[in-house]
Structure 1
Amino acid sequence: MGLVAEAIACSTPVVASDVGGLKYTAVPQETGLLAPPKNEAVFADAIDRLLVDSVWRQQLGQTGRQRVKTLFQLGQYRLPTPSTLHSTARTIGHST
């Protein structure tokens, strides 16, 4: 999971650029807001909107958390263990 999805999973509404995977992870008006790339004014306005309206901010956070719980099994995301890393390295031909 990426940083934006992790923030959403923690009930934190996000403001993200409308690019790449971010435009699919951050759902406008549901989990946060999207701003056009390289448009600092719109990005700043989006942050202000979240800061000013604590009720809406909390609602976006709760909706986002529920969305992540519905779409992802959070338990499946674990850091690799040393044995997993060694096994992967051997598979791709690196010595360990």
Structure 2
Amino acid sequence: MNVKVEELNGTYVAALQGEMDTAAALEVEETLKPLFATGGKDVIIDCKELEYIASSGLRILLSILKGAKAAGSRVVLRDVNDDIKNVFQLTGFINIFEFE
């Protein structure tokens, strides 16, 4: 699992590549830790190359969303494939995340 986080024009952009499974969750969480407290900046999570997400990955994204909302920021999941979107649908997370 590869994760790249950068700040562009006052917005955090995190690109996820590979499988966000339980084994990768600790490393992914550590890399995404700056996004847990966005300081009022919006967050875009690029899922174009995300192939799989486990419940531990959903928990990480939910933590980011919770922190962002508390700061008045938005979290947008971008380019989510149908398989990943189905996981969000089955868990009910489809209704709490914003998709592009």
TM score, norm. by length of structure 2? 0.27
> Whose helix proportion is higher, 1 or 2?
1
Highest Rg: 1 or 2?
1
> Whose strand proportion is higher, 1 or 2?
2
